[in-house]
Amino acid sequence: MLKNLKNFVTDSMAIDMGTANTIIAVKGRGVVLDEPSLVAVNEMTDEIVAYGREAADMSGREGRDLTVVAPLIGGVVGDFERTKRMLSHFVKTAKTGGKNVALQAVMSIVSDVTHVEQRALTNAADDAGIGKIFLMEEGLAAAFGAGVLPSDKRAAAVVDIGAATTNIAFVAKGSIIFSTSDRHGSNAINESLATHLRRHRGIQVGEETTELLKTKFASAYLPDDISKTVEVRGRDVQTRSPAAVEITSGEVYPIVEGIVRRIAERIKDSLTELRPEVAADIYDRGVILTGGGALLDGIDKYLRSYINLPVTIADEPRYATVNGLVKMFEDHELLDRVSLSELRVLQNAEPHFEV
Ligand SMILES: Nc1ncnc2c1ncn2[C@@H]1O[C@H](COP(=O)(O)OP(=O)(O)OP(=O)(O)O)[C@@H](O)[C@H]1O
Ligand SMILES: [Mg+2]
């Protein structure tokens, strides 16, 4: 098998198709694609007119016939047809040039994904021209990407805070010991901020505004200066006219803290499910954070004081999963062991379509 593979040019691709971002790395080339998981659709013709960043740039300011959709909302293959097209487009963009380049890929899936969803993913991969697809649990990929070694006998805890899901995994000897996922991630902060502004400040704001507020102004710890202000703009709820309000860091903090506390509680609960030896390992090593949600200012500090254990943020937390996936191509035996069963692409299960 291995010998055969060497005779062909094969792109080995790692795909982390998240609700918010799709990240693709190619063995030997590192991360080659990092784009929002969005498509812009012409409502009249149902055609996709833009993908990824280009679609994101249209978001919130769409024309009459155009909508920007996130086909994966909820962390699963929600809008199958559009997910397929989006994946095909990204794979094509990421691929090394040349027609006769064979393609194998490893993709991550959340641990509670159903068989139907798993099938939909392998199907989508088939349509994207991927000859061979491996599926791997996200928690394991994130752990390997965060530097946990597959040979390590001692247990490690990895918490991936994505846009729509928080995935908590305990890993030892290259396998998952226990994992749990909550369909609640960093985007819950954006939603809470938008709700607060609408209800209490009478202003409706868009996704771009809440994202800026979260990433540039908010923090997971009580700010030293709670009277620091920032202006947010949007639409007045009552008059429907353009409007702006000033919001203070003291007002933003409890909103953010509410969501971060929920994540902290989930981690704390999961820590009570461990066997004594595993608990002992985690007591020493603490918890590693991955995913974009780990970039929230001070989240490590907050979690550290909540669970009373060391908490560290992985290098390049947004790329931990994809980095872990791409590492699998260095060790085919490990790849075969960790990838989930029923992996063969369902050949010709669906008619092929061109992108
Ligand atoms: N600097 C930052 N501060 C706070 N949050 C951030 C920052 N950068 C990114 N995020 C948040 O991280 C989330 C995206 O993370 P990530 O790319 O890991 O999600 P995903 O893998 O697409 O989602 P999921 O795993 O839930 O399907 C978004 O909610 C985004 O707002
Ligand atoms: Mg993710």
Give the C-alpha distances (Å, rounded to integers) separating 13 from 49, 102, 263, 316: 25, 11, 31, 19
C-alpha 244 to ligand 2 mean position (Å): 33
Q: Are 16 and 141 in contact (CB under 8 A)?
A: yes
Instruction: Give the number of the atom of ligand 1 that is nearest the alpha carbon of residue 189.
Output: 29
> How much is the pTM?
0.91
Q: Are 179 and 169 in contact (CB under 8 A)?
A: yes
Q: Are 173 and 200 in contact (CB under 8 A)?
A: no
pLDDT of residue 12: 94
pLDDT of residue 301: 97
Q: Single out the residue of 181, 78, 85, 173 nearest to residue 138, CA to CA.
A: 181
C-alpha 21 to ligand 1 mean position (Å): 8
Q: What are the b/e assignments for 306-330, b being 16+ CB within 10 Å?
A: bbebebebbeebbbbbbbbbbbbbe
pLDDT of residue 64: 80
Rounded distance between C-alpha atoms, residue 176 and residue 352, angstroms: 35
β pairing state of 102-109 and 132-137: parallel
Sign of CA dihedral 319, 320, 325, 326: positive
The two structure tokens encoding residue 284: 């020493």
C-alpha 31 to ligand 1 mean position (Å): 17
C-alpha 324 to ligand 2 mean position (Å): 12
Residues contacting residue 179 through CB under 8 Å, at least 6 positions apart: 111, 137, 139, 167, 168, 169, 170
Q: Are 328 and 134 in contact (CB under 8 A)?
A: yes
User: Any residues with Cβ below 6 Å from ligand 1, and which?
Assistant: 18-21, 75, 162-165, 185-187, 211, 214-215, 291-293, 295-296, 318
pLDDT of residue 256: 98
C-alpha 16 to ligand 2 mean position (Å): 7
| Amino acid, res. 178 | F
Rounded distance between C-alpha atoms, residue 142 and residue 251, angstroms: 34
Instruction: Give the number of the atom of ligand 1 that is nearest the alpha carbon of residue 187.
Output: 29
CATH numbers and ranges of domains, the chain: 1-35+78-146+319-355 (3.30.420.40), 38-71 (no CATH), 154-185+262-318 (3.30.420.40), 187-256 (3.90.640.10)
Rounded distance between C-alpha atoms, residue 57 and residue 67, angstroms: 12
Sign of CA dihedral 323, 328, 329, 330: positive
C-alpha 354 to ligand 1 mean position (Å): 31
- Rounded to the nearest 10 degrees, the angle between the axes of helix 249-271 and helix 187-201 is 140
Instruction: Give the number of the atom of ligand 1 that is nearest the alpha carbon of residue 214.
Output: 4
Instruction: Give the number of the atom of ligand 1 that is nearest the alpha carbon of residue 37.
Output: 22
pLDDT mean for each 10 residues of the chain (355 residues): 58 93 96 96 93 93 88 71 91 81 86 76 86 92 97 97 95 94 93 98 96 97 92 97 97 97 97 96 97 98 98 98 96 87 40 32
pLDDT of residue 175: 93
What residue owns the CA closest to ligand 1's atom 8? 292
The burial of 129, by beta-carbon neighbours within 10 Å (0-12 exposed, 13-18 middle, 19 or more buried), is given as middle
The two structure tokens encoding residue 222: 């009580």
| Amino acid, res. 235 | R
Number of neighbours of residue 89 by Cβ within 10 angstroms: 19
Instruction: Give the number of the atom of ligand 1 that is nearest the alpha carbon of residue 167.
Output: 25
pLDDT of residue 313: 98
Q: Single out the residue of 136, 57, 189, 114 nearest to residue 325, CA to CA.
A: 136
What residue owns the CA closest to ligand 1's atom 10? 292
Residues contacting residue 21 through CB under 8 Å, at least 6 positions apart: 34, 35, 36, 37, 163, 292, 318
Residues contacting residue 251 through CB under 8 Å, at least 6 positions apart: 196
Instruction: Give the number of the atom of ligand 1 that is nearest the alpha carbon of residue 72.
Output: 27
What residue owns the CA closest to ligand 1's atom 24? 162
Ligand nearest to the CA of 23: 1
Ligand nearest to the CA of 182: 1
96: DSSP letter: P
Element (H, E) at 80: helix 80-94
C-alpha 199 to ligand 2 mean position (Å): 30
